[in-house]
Chains A and B, each alone.
Chain A
Amino acid sequence: MSWTFGTSSAPAQSTANPFVQSFTTNSADTLLVVGIPNNIARTGGSPTFNGTALTQVPAGSVATAETSLEIWYMINPPTTTANVSIPNSGASQCAPVIATARSTSTPVYTNTSNATATSTNPTVDSTVTTPNNIIFALAGDDENTWSPSGVTGTDISSGDVANWGRGLQYRIEATSGTYAMGWTDSSSSRWAVVTAAFTEAVSVTVSPAVIDIVSSVQDPTVQAGAIVSPAVITVLAGVQAPTVTTVLPPWTNPSKNSSSWGNTAKNSATWTNASKNSSTWTNEDKS
């Protein structure tokens, strides 16, 4: 992943309202940057490309007594030839510099920085915390014939505009860090610099392995002989057989003389003499 610079255009300054500049984008362009330096603060609203409003870096405008700077951008501009239109209701001297850059994934604006001073060598640091950066810096200088001799990055367009000067440069930096965005100018004058840093979107997918929680059952310690197996105690419920006693009525003599005894019966063959003459029979009974 890395950035490459695209194309640029640096039209002459104009006080027209709107300021209009035709610009052609390439299908590989993923970022359109418009640096707008004016001699005084520009008024009138957001610039557009192909009718779509650009986005301003949060720094807003950075100004000196004789310059006012703005940086606007568009992510994934359409591939076309269309106008960059910059409202300029205050009829300021508008001298934009238009540029494109190309990235392998979606550009992301990251940060801006700015500085103003009266000195030689206009400069400001841009600190980026991500890899794969492209940093643009726009300068304005009050010097009547501004002609810087060098830049810390790659110059896009730097030079004099009417009685003040403008400059746009870029740096492509693969790693995070702090990078000076400066112009070499031996003449001390009032200047302002504003930067806009962009990186490329990076996605990541993490696929962690499953975590195993192993549950184990610990075997208990068993002491031999400790197990007591008591005998079964059986309780029997028995039914006791009762003693049955039969009481017969006694013999009485009258029964022997009962009319139910007949002679025939007495002399029956079933009676033996012995039995008839048994001593157990009394004479009285036999007769």
Chain B
Amino acid sequence: MASLAYNAFKYSQLGDTGITPINLKTDTIKLALLTSSYTYANTHDFFDDVSANEVGASGSYATGGATLSVTTSQDNTDNEGVFDATDVSFTTATITARYAVIYKSTGVNSTSRLICLIDFGSNQSSTAGTFTITFAAEGILNLT
């Protein structure tokens, strides 16, 4: 499965009655790690759709993942909007993860809207070590 943006995120950004678009800069945006047991569905819209597949807490990784330090920008060279964040590290962690999911955290899983799913391509493991996710130079999401 390739990395993707959830349909629910695309839709919410257009706005609708009862739906407030996510402000990627000012809302609380978190990254959580999922095991290979997760199966994507295009109907998945909130964190409670994926939380059963989250890796266990270990080291500095707590349930629900970590809050991202986000930047957004306009790239007039590539003609796109860029959503990026500071690289994430979980220390002294024993983790085996296949996916990372980024979502807007409301503190309630059933209202925390999913943004995108990152597929590592295979299980990635740390043992009492540091699990680091280094985002690409072009960021996490590009709206082209």
Taking the closest CB of chain A, its distance from the CB of B118, in whole angstroms, is 5
CB nearest to B132 among chain A residues: A205
Q: Is the CB of B134 within 8 A of A207?
A: yes
Main SS class of interface, B: strand
Q: Is the CB of B100 within 8 A of A208?
A: yes
Complex alpha-carbon distance, A106 and B129, angstroms:
9
Interface size on A, residues (CB 8 A): 24
Q: A206 and B120 in contact (CB under 8 A), knowing A131-B127, A199-B128, A201-B129? A: yes
Q: Which residues of A contact B139 (CB under 8 A)?
A: 210
Q: A211 and B140 in contact (CB under 8 A), knowing A202-B129, A206-B132? A: yes
Q: Which residues of A contact B128 (CB under 8 A)?
A: 106, 108, 110, 199, 201-202
Q: Is the CB of A211 within 8 A of B4?
A: yes
Q: Is the CB of B143 within 8 A of A108?
A: no
Taking the closest CB of chain A, its distance from the CB of B86, in whole angstroms, is 14
Complex alpha-carbon distance, A213 and B8, angstroms:
13
Q: Chain A 124-139 against B: per-residue CB contact (8 Å), 1 yes, 0 no?
A: 0000001110000000
Q: Chain B 1-22 against A: per-residue CB contact (8 Å), 1 yes, 0 no?
A: 0011100001000000000000
Q: Is the CB of B133 within 8 A of A208?
A: yes
Q: Is the CB of A210 within 8 A of B138?
A: yes
Q: Chain A 181-203 against B: per-residue CB contact (8 Å), 1 yes, 0 no?
A: 00000000000000000011111
Q: Is the CB of B126 within 8 A of A210?
A: no
Complex alpha-carbon distance, A18 and B38, angstroms:
56
CB nearest to B116 among chain A residues: A211
Q: Is the CB of B126 within 8 A of A202?
A: yes
Q: Which residues of B contact A130 (CB under 8 A)?
A: 94, 127
The interface size bin for chain B is 20 to 34
Q: Which residues of B contact A209 (CB under 8 A)?
A: 3, 136
Q: Which residues of A contact B138 (CB under 8 A)?
A: 210
Q: Is the CB of B141 within 8 A of A210?
A: yes
Taking the closest CB of chain B, its distance from the CB of A222, in whole angstroms, is 24
Q: Which residues of B contact A208 (CB under 8 A)?
A: 3, 100, 118-120, 133, 135-136, 140
CB nearest to A202 among chain B residues: B127
Q: Which residues of B contact A211 (CB under 8 A)?
A: 3-5, 116, 118, 140-142
Q: Is the CB of B142 within 8 A of A213?
A: yes
Task: Identify 23 residue pairs between A and B in the complex whose beta-carbon atoms are under 8 Å apart, listed by A's number.
Answer: A108-B128, A110-B128, A130-B127, A202-B127, A202-B129, A203-B132, A204-B125, A204-B129, A205-B132, A205-B134, A206-B133, A207-B134, A207-B136, A208-B135, A208-B136, A209-B136, A210-B138, A210-B139, A210-B141, A210-B142, A211-B4, A211-B116, A213-B10
Which 9 residue pairs across A and B have the least CB separation, nearest first?
A: A203-B129, A108-B128, A202-B127, A210-B138, A203-B130, A205-B132, A201-B129, A210-B136, A201-B128
Interface of A toward B, CB cutoff 8 Å:
105-106, 108, 110, 130-132, 199-215
Known: A202-B128, A203-B126, A204-B130. 6 other contacts (CB 8 A): A110-B128, A201-B128, A202-B127, A205-B132, A206-B133, A214-B144
